[in-house]
Amino acid sequence: MKDVLIDLAKAAQHAVDALQGDPAEVVGRGADGAPSTRIDRAAEAAVLRRLDEKGIRLDVLSEEAGFVDRHGDGLLVLDPVDGTHNALRGVPAYSVSLAVGHARLADVEAGLVLDLVSGAAYFAEKGRGAELNGRPIHARRFDPKDVLFSVYLGTNAEADAAAVAAKARRVRNLGAASLDLCLVARGAADAYYMHSREERLKLRACDIAAGTLIVREAGGEVLDLQGNDLDIPLTADAHTDLVAVGDRAAWEAIR
């Protein structure tokens, strides 16, 4: 499965690199009604073509196309460009996120996040750990003297996000959920906190399916805002907030 996901991710990467025309041009609406840009559609189309070329029997749940019934044996959960706004503004933090599962976040079996700027490839398979570019990665043990949180902030964030940020010595946010989750998995961040006041801006299954498995396989936890293990259906209309931590002590510090 790793080779399959890498092949699909590379197809998206090549499509982005070869894109002609204005990448920000709105060319339609995604599955949730949000505008779809040329860059999103090009990356998604490349992955769907590759599935057909390789005869890979997977249905698809994509941020743009929604659910695509391909009479598959499993479900590919795809975000063709996570961090589209970053890509369009020139912020070097955006990725393609792919995961294979069936019906819910908890049953995702494999996940890959490919950083489309650096080429860093994060991969996890259930029960087999997580890796970065083929080397094992592990979440970081919490050190209260050196706390770094990734926190979603701004006018669309709930007020408690600022309070969470104030508990950290340093605060970062990449603006691409898959990559923010991978920061926790590799031990670069102690936590990733997302609490949006806008339902339409909460995270979708396509944003987090791969990253959630990568965090968990690296020894971290992905929780809802009540501290329970996060689990949502793998559907186009599922939205959620979350907190990902490398160590349970980080969750206790946030509460």
pLDDT of residue 247: 96
Spatial distance between the Cα atoms of 154 and 21, rounded to a whole number of angstroms: 31
> Which phi and psi (to 5°) does residue 252 adopt?
-65, -35
Confidence of residue 48 (pLDDT cuts 50, 70, 90): very high
* Other Cβ atoms within 10 Å of 56 Cβ, number: 18
Q: What is the pLDDT of residue 28?
A: 66
Summarize the confidence of residues 19-39 as an average pLDDT.
Answer: 74
pLDDT band, very low/low/confident/very high, at 35 (cuts 50, 70, 90) = low
User: At 228, is the pLDDT very low, low, confident or very high (cuts 50, 70, 90)?
Assistant: very high
Radius of gyration of the chain (CA): 17
Q: What is the pLDDT of residue 10?
A: 97
Same fold, 2-137 and 148-254: no
Task: Write down the pLDDT at residue 31.
Answer: 65
CATH number of 148-254: 3.40.190.80
Six-digit token string for 84: 């589209």
pLDDT of 101 above 70: yes
CATH topology of domain 2-137: Fructose-1,6-Bisphosphatase; Chain A, domain 1 (3.30.540)
Using CA atoms, how far apart are residues 129 and 107, in angstroms rounded to an integer?
A: 15
Whether residue 240 is predicted with pLDDT greater than 70 in this model: the reply is yes
% pLDDT > 70, the chain: 96
CB atoms within 10 A of CB 96: 30
Sign for the CA dihedral angle at 221, 226, 229, 235 comes to: negative
In tens, the pLDDT along 103-138 reads: 999 999 999 999 999 999 999 999 999 999 999 999
Average predicted confidence (pLDDT) for the chain: 94
Burial class (CB in 10 A: 0-12, 13-18, 19+), 72: middle
Per residue in 171-223, pLDDT (tens digit) is: 999 999 999 999 999 999 999 999 999 988 899 999 999 999 999 999 999 99
**Domain map of the chain by residue range?**
2-137, 148-254
Question: Please, which pLDDT band fits residue 24 given cuts at 50, 70 and 90?
Answer: confident
If pLDDT is split at 50, 70 and 90, which confidence band does 25 have?
confident
